[in-house]
Structure formats: C-alpha cells, structure tokens
Amino acid sequence: MDRRQLVTMGAALASAVWVRPAAAGAQTPAGTMPGQAPVRYPDPSVRVLDPRFQRYKVGAAVVERLYTGTRWAEGPVWFGDLRCLLWSDIPNDRILRWTEETGEVSVFRAPSNNCNGHTRDQQGRLVTCERRRVTRTETDGTITVLADEVEGAPLNSPNDVVAHPDGSLWFTDPGYGLLSMYEGVREEAKLPTRVYRWDPVTRKATSMTEAVRRPNGLCFSPDVSRLYVADTENPAPGRPRGIHVFDVVGGTRLGPGRLFHDMGKGGADGIRCDADGNIWASAGWAGAGYDGVRIIAPDGTQIGQIDLPEVCSNLCFGGAKGNRLFMTASQSLYSVYVEATSARYK
C-alpha cells in the first residue's frame, strides 16, 4: 500500500463515529477496561496442557477485556498500518473499530449487511463476508462486490475469508445469515453449504468442496499446502464436530479432506494458524473450562487453552509486534499477549 492509499484509507477509518463502551466509561491506553480487578501473574486462564505450549505463554501477561457492548462479536482483522482492529457486531448490523493508541471504540460502518468475517487482501484492502455476498473496501472507502452468485444462484451467507498469496480469496458459506432474523433475514438457501475460491483473474467464485456440513472458520498452513476448515454442524454418530484439513493441490483445488481435530462437546468457529503451524481455534458452547481458545499442534493434539468467560467466536493476531491475540467473544472483545505470530503467506 503506497502513501496515497494509506492516507485515503486512514481518512475513511478516521471518519468513524465514536461510541462509549456499555457500562465501561472511557478506555485506558493500556487496554484493560477500568474497574477490572488485577490478575496475579501468571494468569491461570492461560493453561499449558502440553510442554510444547510453554514457549508461547507470556508469564507476565493477562487476558484483557478491551470492550463490551456487542450482541454477537465476530470477524476480527488487524490493521497494523493504522494501529486499529475492526470486528463485526452481527445482530447490531455494524463494524466496530478499536484504536490501539487510546483504547477507544467507534463505529466504522453501519449498516453493514450483517457482515461476519474479514481479512485483508494482498494489497491490504479490507475484504468482508456479508449476507449474500463478499465485498472489498477500496482505499477511497467505496465498496466493490467481488462475489454474490455462483452458477446463476445467489450465495447464501458467506462467513469467513482468507487471502491466498496468488491473490485469490477462499471463503466459506454455511448460510447462517439466512437462518434467523437476529443475524440477518430469513430466506431460502439457493446453494449447498460450501468452501469457495474467488479467482482474481476471472473474478468468479468456484466451489472447492461440499464435504464440510457447516464450513465456518478457515486458514492456510504456513506453506499454504493445507487448508483447515472448522465445521459448526451439530455432531452426529460417526461425524464429530471438529476441524478438517485438506491438501491444496496446485493452489487452485482441494484434495480429499480428513478430520484434523475433534472439538468434543463444543465447537470451533474462527481459526488462525501461527508461524509454527499451530492452529489457534475459538472454542465455545460447552461452558467454563472449555469456552475460549484452543491451541492445537500440527499433529492435531491440543497443547494449550485460553479460558474466557464467554463463548469465543473468532480471533486474529495483531499489535505492534504481531504477538497480541485478539478474541471476539459474544458480547466482548478480549486480548492477550503471546509468543506467537500469524503465519506469513508468501
């Protein structure tokens, strides 16, 4: 992104409307909301379950609640050039922005078409999954529709998206934005639930797989040879609710999938891969001791856990050094510093 693009993007972000966090007052620069009781180091909510996770835990860091006041927080994406985080509040039909320098939260976009997951493309532009479409926010603030139909039928409700080094965008479409008035509009799904690849040359989306019942969060391995996809369909005999992995063939299609990790009694929503190939998976709907973030080694073994007091929906790495984990969880936004950074796809 050149200086002109950065300035125009900055102007668009700066025009957002400031909102006061519910029952919180002004934010402190450090990030943690005022009135929170101090936590003795090391934070017991960051748990080492396998010695392999010890290197990623920061003993003098705690889970911080940065904001509360959403109804279902989702899709965090970090803008390091602007030192801010954007994330979705789906039922409230808006995108929020948290500013690192001040801790203030503002409305970046409303209405937002009940948007869900976000990423940045290879040029640093915001890419957003919305009900019935995937869009890109240009550096002047205008919105370009990248995909809204496949095979002559409208997309259901794209959920999460990740950028590939070749400029393509891979996204999931489980259809949640059509199932309720709370998170969208009740409408009939016209297509199966799928994972898609949007091609930057043809500007068309093509189905990659229908093997995952409710494809949700997704991420690539550091070498982009594998694609991980979370399934949020309710489990059934012989079909656990977990994270699946597919070999990426030629960069443009998927080989047969296999179960990578069984999430047990709860489920994973958004997922991210770190530079060492570990999967950081949101975990929820199973109560205390489960809800939060599950850290999974490349062999599929859970090695760590970050406990949160709310159902965690999604996460991303960010901050000045890339080692701050941001977590969207139901009504709130959380963060914790770790000794891990996001995979860098090249």
15 pLDDT above the threshold of 50: no
pLDDT digits (tens, 9 = 90+) for 100-147: 999 999 999 999 999 999 999 999 999 999 999 999 999 999 999 999
Predicted confidence at residue 187, as pLDDT, reads: 96
Residue 346 pLDDT > 60, yes or no? no
Q: How far apart are CA 127 and CA 22, in angstroms?
A: 28
CATH of residue 153: 2.120.10.30
Q: Does residue 279 surpass a pLDDT of 90?
A: yes
Answer yes or no: is 64 within a domain.
yes
Predicted TM-score (pTM) of the model is 0.91
| Per-residue confidence (pLDDT) for residue 157, from 0 to 100 | 98
Within a domain: 239: yes
Q: How confident is the model at residue 9 (pLDDT cuts 50, 70, 90)?
A: very low
Residue 345 included in any domain:
no
Q: Is the pLDDT of residue 248 over 80?
A: yes
Q: Would you say residue 344 lies in a domain?
A: no
CB-based burial label for 317 (10 Å; 0-12, 13-18, 19+) = buried
The arithmetic mean of pLDDT across residues 230-254, rounded, is: 93
Residue 28 clears pLDDT 60, i.e. is over it: no
pLDDT tens-place string over residues 37-46: 899 999 999 9
H or E element at residue 14? helix 3-14
Look at residue 144 and tell me if it is in a domain. yes
- Residue, of 30 and 53, whose pLDDT is higher: 53
Q: Please check whether residue 20 lies inside any domain of the structure.
A: yes
- Asked whether residue 342 is assigned to any structural domain, the reply reads no
Least confident of 62-71, 235-244, 269-278: 235-244
Tokens matching residue 24:
């919180």
d(CA 297, CA 119) in angstroms, rounded, equals 23
For position 240, what pLDDT does the model report?
83
State residue 19's pLDDT score.
Answer: 56
Amino acid identity of residue 267, one-letter, is G
Read off the pLDDT of residues 206-219 as tens digits, 9 standing for 90 and up.
999 999 999 999 99
Average pLDDT rounded to a whole number, residues 164-192: 97
Q: What is the DSSP string of 42-98?
A: SPTTEEESSGGGGGGB-TT---EEEEE--SSEEEEEEETTTTEEEEEETTTTEEEEE
Range of the domain at 304: 3-337
Per-residue pLDDT, averaged over 83-97, amounts to 98
Confidence of residue 236 (pLDDT cuts 50, 70, 90): confident
What single letter denotes the amino acid at residue 20?
R
Task: Provide the token pair at 246.
Answer: 């597919």
The verdict on residue 16 lying in a domain is yes
Total domains, the chain = 1
The amino acid that residue 59 corresponds to is G
d(CA 173, CA 160): 8
**Of residues 168, 173, 136, the one with CA closest to residue 154:** 173
- Strand partners of residue 267: 284
